[in-house]
């Protein structure tokens, strides 16, 4: 792999050059003095910890906002993008971390949507999609309905969308965050194919092993600026990590076990039905003890959100029961559940966790509007809420000028720290933590882990749902795998590897490991692999 | 004073305020002997303002935080927007209060008091006005200028001289009798707009205020006309009837929304039509109505003991009376403000309006909130007809004013659903209505007021949104810059 840069035709100017890019932006990290040169026909990785400013930089390159200073050159020619369509016109395409696809449309319709002028919407468009799909080995069927496709296929559709619009340089923003290890390998095969066809790929990630295996050149970003350019052939993951954080990467891990035999939350055969009657959570039974963190691993969309919604009283439970400290709380309202001492860190903080346009101290009241110190009877206790917000800002290191700024003005990590501080206040007995460190910078990440550890030591019971397998393995006392609404396997977090977990998540079972496997995983595994056609093909 | 000693000397906040006020008043008083009162007042307030600006660094820190708490003084936005806005607002405040006081007091005293108010405003606003609030004022100002421009253009192209028309409207609109009429109209409009605003805060569009108040006024008038009750009790019963009817009528829409998912826009429009039908059915001599005059029928006139006495408007120089229920409107405004900002219910209302999903995840019963806010909106809507009913007409007849519910929507938009903003919006709206009354005498179409009203609503909504968005982004950048500094220093190595 170290020989690849020499294999590239040296003719022609660099595909993309960024010089002295500075972008000031709400939040903790601003881009400043970024210098990157991307050679054509290569996979160029940009690595940096969460919140280092990678996404901000790529949004600048994609024309989603303009840099305050600095120059962008595309194939040697200076450009100024006012919008993504300018970027597309110059052959820059971007695949976002979160897919932007309409579930109820077919692949063809999704690809053509917004680019009807390229090849129409009929036969010519279909032919072009087929041609691109064959040329780059994407294996996309234009007539499949989007909702039938798995995550890996969806990502290939996103790449196809970009190619269809004539992109010569493709930006992939954290493409592996939503994939299990097997799908990651397939993606990398696709990327090598793209490279072979002469396209340039800018690959953003914070996962070093992946970067080392696929990139031709690596640029490291730390605290908003480029700190080094590395050759993957002569660099180790450890060296990259040191460059990324300027020190050792924090590792999520628990110290000695604090698990007691006192059951705080007990789920017994909990089933949640979709509007069409199909179970999305299917007979989940699990006990969570005082001082225990129970992790749930699973590909997104396998019932995690619904399970949480059921516990929080936001969705009705079709059958089964939920008990908190021996009291049956099935069917309780969200308010009653919260009042009974359940904290909730929602997976989508913008939708469920904060009022973006309200000041921080009003956000302190949210979800706690019936409890001191935010209220006194029917009246809002401004002084109490403000004082307690000050405490949270202080204790949880929320970076904000004061508690009167609106939540929207803070970076995601700081919003999250505030939410966690809020949910930890009032001494909860049980905490639902959904993706607690998603989109949070490294400093905040280790702070959040530390808070969870302390609360656990103090006897808190936690249900942890996360897409970050390292976090799950490192933070959980007990680890379950959820697949299509069922708990299909239980893994021992002290021995399981992310790869084993990943294969269990796709339904292949915890192979290569003799850990206990829950009843029906065999059958499920078989048809799970079936459904996801190319499950083991790569 | 020299630049060097500025930071070392300090001046306690109250003392600086006192000096500014005394300075402004004295200058106004002295100059007033030589010049016209308004010129004197402008000079006085400007002097006080200059004093405030010069002593800005001497006033201790805690007196200076912006309304939204960020360090704003000295930033570019503060210098270019907030400072001029403060001058404009304090001048406007001073002139307006001097003009109002002049109706009662002798001119030199009124001018001096105006100077006092203007100077005090200059100090308080300079140190307390937040950028976001200043932006809102600026937005309204810009919208006003645009709307005036559009109206002037319409007049100009119709061959009517704009300035003369505006001068005529201003002159007529500020006559004592006109002012009483403006206050009375505003009372009604204010209630209608608050009713609409309660829904707006929840992102609910109560178009049905119109039907709710008409039905409520009719039934309340019938109760007042047929039931002879002792004074005070009679008024209370009439008001309670109106509130109950308005609430019940809006409650139907709320129930349909919660239980059946029917859009409140559709159902309230339908309910308006049904209310029209019901009032027409009930307002017949076979049922609730009696013959009022040869070509008018209505509910029987109420006993005088059931009326709400008016307030003699002698202090404005008019022989007419202001509706006594202006106090009811004020009380509703205060209650609305307290409910919104100080109670749990108000918090849940605003939270649901901002983000239904976040409210739900926080344990707010969204369905209950939808129903209750619709109910409260209707209860306030029930009050809309009462100032007219109890203060002036004393019966509900065919000529009872209609369409106030729709005006309420426009005024709520204009006042940004803010309890105080709606007051000014209502006053402005009725001023235009009243002032346009003179135009037919000059053979100028009266509809010019409608054009002005329509443009101002449109421009306020658009300009406000644009300015507000820009302001929010600016604020975010400011915070990013403040915090960005600290990150760069801990980042180590890189030059700033």
Q: Residues B183-225: pLDDT tens digits?
A: 999 999 999 999 999 999 999 999 999 999 999 999 999 999 9
For the cut 90, the answer to whether the pLDDT of residue A423 exceeds it is yes
Helix (H, G, I), strand (E, B) or coil at A490: strand
In a mutational test of the A interface, the residue from B72, B358, B372, B489 whose CB has the highest number of chain A CBs within 10 Å is B358
The C-alpha atoms of residue A508 and residue A526 are separated, in whole angstroms, by 7
The C-alpha atoms of residue B471 and residue B77 are separated, in whole angstroms, by 9
Helix (H, G, I), strand (E, B) or coil at A23: strand
**B120 and B173 belong to one structural domain:** no
For the cut 80, the answer to whether the pLDDT of residue A449 exceeds it is yes
Mean pLDDT across chain A, nearest whole number? 83
The C-alpha atoms of residue A471 and residue A438 are separated, in whole angstroms, by 10
Token pair of B479, please?
């915070």
- A47: which strand partners? A205, A220
Q: Are strands A293-297 and A478-483 parallel, antiparallel or unpaired?
A: parallel
> pLDDT category, B52, cuts 50, 70, 90?
confident
List the single residue in B69, B361, B483 with the smallest CB-CB distance to A346.
B361
Range with the lowest mean pLDDT among A51-55, A102-106, B394-398?
A51-55
Domain spanning A1-91+168-245: CATH superfamily = P-loop containing nucleotide triphosphate hydrolases (3.40.50.300)
- What are the residue ranges spanned by the domains of chain A? 1-91+168-245, 104-167, 289-302+333-477+488-535
> pLDDT category, A289, cuts 50, 70, 90?
very high
**B349 and B209 belong to one structural domain:** yes
Higher pLDDT, B259 or A1: B259
**B92 and B234 belong to one structural domain:** no
> pLDDT category, B344, cuts 50, 70, 90?
very high
Instruction: Enumerate the residues of chain A whose CB falls inside 8 A of the CB of residue B68.
Output: 359, 404-406
How many other CB atoms sit within 10 Å of the CB of residue B449? 20
Q: What is the mean pLDDT of the segment spanning A289-312?
A: 90
For the cut 50, the answer to whether the pLDDT of residue A524 exceeds it is no
What pLDDT does B74 receive?
A: 57
What pLDDT does A298 receive?
A: 85
CATH of the domain at B362: 1.10.3470
For the cut 50, the answer to whether the pLDDT of residue A317 exceeds it is yes
Half-sphere exposure of B276 (CA within 13 A, CB side): 10
Given CB atoms, is B104 within the 8 Å cutoff of chain A? no
A93-97, A509-513, B202-206: range with highest mean pLDDT? B202-206
Boundaries of domain holding B76: 3-129
CA distance B258 to chain A (A): 17
Q: Judge: B363–A224 Cβ closer than 8 Å, yes or no.
A: no
For the cut 60, the answer to whether the pLDDT of residue B70 exceeds it is no
The answer to whether the A1-91+168-245 and A289-302+333-477+488-535 domains have the same CATH topology is yes
Token pair of B157, please?
């192209």
Q: Please identify which residue in the block is written with the tokens 């109002």.
A: B100
What pLDDT does A246 receive?
A: 65
Rg of chain A taking only CA atoms, in angstroms:
24
Largest CA distance in chain B: 93
For the cut 50, the answer to whether the pLDDT of residue A100 exceeds it is yes
The C-alpha atoms of residue B162 and residue B487 are separated, in whole angstroms, by 57
Q: What angle do CA A368, A371, A377 make, to 5 degrees?
A: 125
The C-alpha atoms of residue A107 and residue A128 are separated, in whole angstroms, by 13
Q: Please identify which residue in the block is written with the tokens 């619709």.
A: B374
Instruction: Decide if B415 contacts B423 (C-beta within 8 A).
Output: yes
How many DSSP H helices and E strands does chain B contain?
19, 4
Share of chain A above pLDDT 90, in %: 27
**B110 and B180 belong to one structural domain:** no
Token pair of B303, please?
């006993």
The nearest alpha carbon in chain B to A370 belongs to B344
What pLDDT does A247 receive?
A: 57
> pLDDT category, B139, cuts 50, 70, 90?
confident
Instruction: Decide if B117 contacts B94 (C-beta within 8 A).
Output: yes
A406: CB partners within 8 A, 6+ apart: A356, A357, A358, A359, A360, B68, B472, B475
Share of chain B above pLDDT 90, in %: 48
> A373 preceded by cis ω (within 30°)?
yes
3-state helix, strand, coil in chain B (%, to 5): 75, 5, 25
Instruction: Decide if A405 contacts B69 (C-beta within 8 A).
Output: yes
> pLDDT category, A427, cuts 50, 70, 90?
confident
Q: What is the mean pLDDT of the segment spanning A436-446?
A: 76
What pLDDT does B86 receive?
A: 87
Q: Judge: A224–B475 Cβ closer than 8 Å, yes or no.
A: no
Q: What is the pLDDT of residues A34-57, one digit of tens each?
A: 899 999 999 999 987 666 778 788
Q: What is the pLDDT of residues A171-193, one digit of tens each?
A: 998 888 777 777 888 889 888 98
The C-alpha atoms of residue A191 and residue A213 are separated, in whole angstroms, by 11
What pLDDT does A153 receive?
A: 86
- To which H or E segment does residue A417 belong? helix A412-424
What pLDDT does B285 receive?
A: 87
Q: Judge: B345–A378 Cβ closer than 8 Å, yes or no.
A: yes
Q: Judge: B69–A339 Cβ closer than 8 Å, yes or no.
A: no
Instruction: Enumerate the residues of chain A whose CB falls inside 8 A of the CB of residue B479.
Output: 26, 400-401, 405, 409-410
Q: What is the mean pLDDT of the segment spanning B378-407?
A: 94
How distant is the alpha carbon of residue B222 from its chain centre?
A: 31
List the single residue in A28, A368, A404 with the smallest CB-CB distance to B68.
A404
What pLDDT does A354 receive?
A: 92
Domain spanning A289-302+333-477+488-535: CATH superfamily = P-loop containing nucleotide triphosphate hydrolases (3.40.50.300)
The overall pTM is greater than 0.80: no
Q: What is the mean pLDDT of the segment spanning B224-249?
A: 93
- Out of B443, B469, B491, a domain closes at B443
> Does any domain span residue B494?
no
Token pair of B275, please?
């209310």
Q: Please identify which residue in the block is written with the tokens 């006053």.
A: B427
Instruction: Enumerate the residues of chain B whose CB falls inside 8 A of the CB of residue A368.
Output: 362
- Domain total of chain B: 2
Q: What is the pLDDT of residues A120-144, one digit of tens each?
A: 888 888 999 999 888 888 888 888 8
Q: What is the pLDDT of residues A192-227, one digit of tens each?
A: 988 888 899 998 887 777 888 889 999 988 877 888
Token pair of A407, please?
């939540």
Alpha helices (H) in A332-404, listed in sequence order: 334-339, 360-365, 382-395
Nearest to A417 by CA among A454, A392, A384, A385: A392
Q: Is B344 exposed, middle or buried (0-12, 13-18, 19+ CB in 10 A)?
A: buried
Higher pLDDT, B75 or B200: B200
**B125 and B259 belong to one structural domain:** no
> Does any domain span residue B408?
yes
> pLDDT category, A513, cuts 50, 70, 90?
very low
> Does any domain span residue B106?
yes
> pLDDT category, A535, cuts 50, 70, 90?
very low
CA distance A29 to chain B (A): 6
The C-alpha atoms of residue B481 and residue A300 are separated, in whole angstroms, by 36
For the cut 50, the answer to whether the pLDDT of residue A530 exceeds it is no
Burial B86-112 (b: 16+ CB within 10 A, else e): bbebbbebbbebbbbbbeeeeeeebbb
Q: What is the mean pLDDT of the segment spanning B31-36?
A: 84
Q: Please identify which residue in the block is written with the tokens 């700190």.
A: A227
Is the confidence metric ipTM above 0.85 for this complex? no
Instruction: Decide if A155 contacts A95 (C-beta within 8 A).
Output: yes
The nearest alpha carbon in chain A to B491 belongs to A223
List the single residue in B71, B341, B487 with the smallest CB-CB distance to A28.
B487
> Does any domain span residue B347?
yes
Mean pLDDT across chain B, nearest whole number? 86
> Does any domain span residue B482?
no
Q: What angle do CA A25, A30, A33 make, to 5 degrees?
A: 130
Dihedrals φ, ψ of A99, to 5°?
Answer: -65, 145
Instruction: Enumerate the residues of chain B whose CB falls inside 8 A of the CB of residue A351.
Output: 355, 357-358, 361
**B204 and B256 belong to one structural domain:** yes
B228: CB partners within 8 A, 6+ apart: B234, B303
> Does any domain span residue B427?
yes
For the cut 80, the answer to whether the pLDDT of residue B63 exceeds it is no
Given CB atoms, is B351 within the 8 Å cutoff of chain A? yes
Token pair of B116, please?
């006092």
Q: What angle do CA A316, A318, A323 make, to 5 degrees?
A: 75
> Does any domain span residue B10?
yes
Q: Judge: A380–B477 Cβ closer than 8 Å, yes or no.
A: no
What pLDDT does A11 receive?
A: 55
> Does any domain span residue B476?
no
Q: What is the mean pLDDT of the segment spanning B392-415?
A: 93
């Amino acid at each position: 792999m170290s020989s690849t840069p020499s294999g590239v035709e040296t003719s022609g100017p660099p595909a993309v050059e960024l010089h002295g890019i500075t972008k000031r932006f709400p939040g903790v990290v601003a881009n400043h003095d970024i210098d990157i040169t991307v050679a054509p026909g290569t996979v160029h990785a940009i690595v940096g910890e969460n919140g280092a400013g990678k996404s901000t930089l790529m949004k600048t390159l994609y024309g989603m906002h303009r840099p305050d200073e600095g120059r962008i050159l595309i194939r040697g020619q200076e450009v100024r993008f006012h919008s993504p369509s300018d970027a597309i016109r110059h052959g820059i395409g971007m695949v976002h971390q979160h897919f932007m696809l309409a579930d109820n449309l077919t692949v063809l319709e999704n690809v053509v949507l917004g680019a009807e002028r390229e090849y129409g919407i009929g036969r010519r468009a279909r032919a072009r999609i087929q041609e691109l799909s064959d040329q780059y080995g994407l294996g996309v069927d234009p007539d499949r309905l989007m909702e039938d496709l798995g995550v890996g296929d969806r990502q290939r559709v996103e790449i196809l969308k970009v190619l269809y619009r004539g992109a010569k340089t493709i930006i992939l923003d954290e493409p592996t965050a939503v994939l299990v290890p097997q799908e990651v390998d397939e993606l990398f095969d696709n990327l090598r194919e793209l490279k072979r066809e002469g396209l340039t790929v800018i690959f953003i990630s914070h996962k070093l092993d992946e970067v080392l295996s696929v990139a031709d050149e690596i640029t490291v970003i730390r605290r908003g600026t480029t700190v080094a350019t590395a050759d993957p052939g002569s660099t180790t993951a450890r060296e990259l990590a040191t460059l990324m954080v300027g020190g050792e990467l924090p590792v999520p891990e628990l110290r000695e076990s604090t698990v007691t035999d006192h059951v705080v939350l007990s789920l017994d055969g909990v089933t949640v039905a979709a509007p069409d009657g199909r179970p999305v959570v299917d007979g989940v039974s699990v006990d969570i003890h005082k001082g225990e963190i129970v992790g749930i691993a699973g590909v997104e969309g396998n019932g995690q959100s619904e399970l949480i919604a059921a516990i929080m009283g936001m969705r009705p439970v079709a059958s089964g029961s939920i008990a908190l400290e021996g009291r049956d709380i099935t069917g309780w309202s969200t308010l009653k559940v919260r009042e009974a001492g359940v904290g909730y860190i929602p997976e989508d903080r913008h939708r469920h966790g904060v009022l973006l346009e309200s000041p921080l101290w009003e956000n302190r009241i949210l979800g706690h509007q019936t409890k001191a110190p935010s209220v006194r009877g029917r009246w809002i206790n401004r002084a109490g809420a403000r004082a307690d917000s000050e405490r949270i800002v202080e204790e949880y290191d929320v970076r904000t000028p004061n508690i009167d700024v609106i939540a929207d003005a803070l970076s995601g990590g700081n919003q999250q720290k505030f939410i966690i501080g809020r949910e930890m206040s009032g001494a909860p007995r049980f905490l639902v933590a959904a993706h607690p460190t998603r989109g949070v910078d490294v400093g905040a990440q280790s702070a959040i882990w530390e808070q969870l550890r302390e609360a656990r030591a103090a006897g808190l019971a936690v249900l942890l749902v996360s897409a970050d397998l390292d976090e799950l393995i490192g933070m959980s006392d007990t680890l379950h795998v959820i697949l299509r609404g069922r708990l299909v396997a239980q893994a021992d977090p002290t021995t399981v590897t992310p790869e084993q977990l990943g294969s269990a998540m796709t339904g292949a079972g915890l192979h290569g490991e003799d850990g206990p496997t829950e009843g029906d995983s065999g059958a499920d595994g078989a048809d799970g692999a079936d459904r996801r056609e190319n499950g083991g093909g790569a | 004073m020299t630049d060097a000693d500025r930071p070392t000397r300090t001046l306690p906040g109250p003392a600086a305020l006192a000096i500014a006020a005394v300075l402004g008043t004295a200058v106004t008083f002295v100059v007033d002997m030589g010049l016209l009162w308004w010129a004197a007042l402008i000079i006085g307030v400007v002097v006080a303002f200059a004093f405030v600006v010069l002593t800005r660094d001497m006033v201790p820190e805690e007196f200076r935080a912006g309304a939204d708490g960020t360090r704003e003084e000295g930033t570019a936005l503060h210098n270019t927007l907030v400072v001029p806005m403060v001058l404009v607002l304090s001048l406007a405040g001073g002139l307006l209060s001097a003009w109002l006081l002049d109706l009662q007091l002798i001119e030199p005293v009124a001018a001096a008091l105006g100077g006092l108010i203007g100077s005090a405003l200059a100090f308080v606003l300079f140190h307390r006005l937040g950028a976001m609030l200043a932006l809102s004022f600026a937005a309204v100002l810009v919208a006003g200028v645009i709307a005036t421009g559009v109206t002037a253009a319409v007049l100009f192209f119709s061959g009517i001289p704009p300035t003369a028309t505006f001068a005529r409207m201003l002159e007529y609109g500020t006559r004592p009798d006109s002012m009483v009429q403006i206050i009375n109209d505003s009372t009604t409009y204010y209630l209608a707009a608050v009713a609409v605003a309660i829904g707006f805060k929840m992102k609910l569009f109560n178009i049905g205020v119109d039907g709710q108040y008409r039905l409520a006024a009719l039934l309340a008038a019938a109760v007042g006309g047929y039931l002879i009750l002792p004074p005070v009790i009679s008024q209370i019963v009439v008001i309670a009837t109106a509130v109950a009817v308005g609430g019940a009528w809006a409650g139907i829409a709320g129930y349909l929304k919660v239980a059946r998912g029917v859009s409140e826009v559709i159902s309230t429009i339908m309910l308006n039509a049904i209310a029209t039908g019901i009032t027409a059915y009930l307002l017949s001599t076979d049922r609730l109505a009696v013959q009022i005059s040869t070509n008018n029928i209505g509910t029987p006139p109420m006993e005088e003991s059931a009326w709400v006495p008016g307030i003699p408007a002698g202090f404005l120089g008019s022989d007419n009376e202001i509706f006594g229920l202006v106090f009811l409107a004020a009380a509703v405004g205060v209650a609305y403000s307290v409910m919104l900002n100080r109670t749990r219910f108000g918090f849940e209302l605003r939270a649901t309006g901002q983000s239904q999903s976040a409210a739900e995840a926080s344990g707010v019963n969204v369905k209950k909130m939808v129903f209750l806010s619709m109910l409260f909106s209707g209860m306030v809507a029930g009050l809309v007809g009462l100032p007219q009913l109890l203060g002036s007409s004393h019966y509900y007849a065919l000529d009872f004013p209609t369409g106030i519910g729709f005006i309420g929507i426009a005024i709520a938009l204009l006042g940004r659903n803010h309890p105080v903003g709606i007051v000014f919006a209502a006053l402005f709206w009725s001023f235009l209505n009243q002032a346009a009354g003179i135009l037919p005498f000059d053979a100028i179409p009266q509809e010019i007021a409608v054009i002005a009203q329509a443009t101002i609503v449109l421009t306020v909504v658009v300009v406000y949104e644009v300015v507000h968005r820009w302001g929010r982004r600016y604020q975010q950048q400011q915070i990013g810059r403040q915090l960005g500094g600290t990150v760069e220093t801990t980042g180590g190595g890189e030059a700033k």
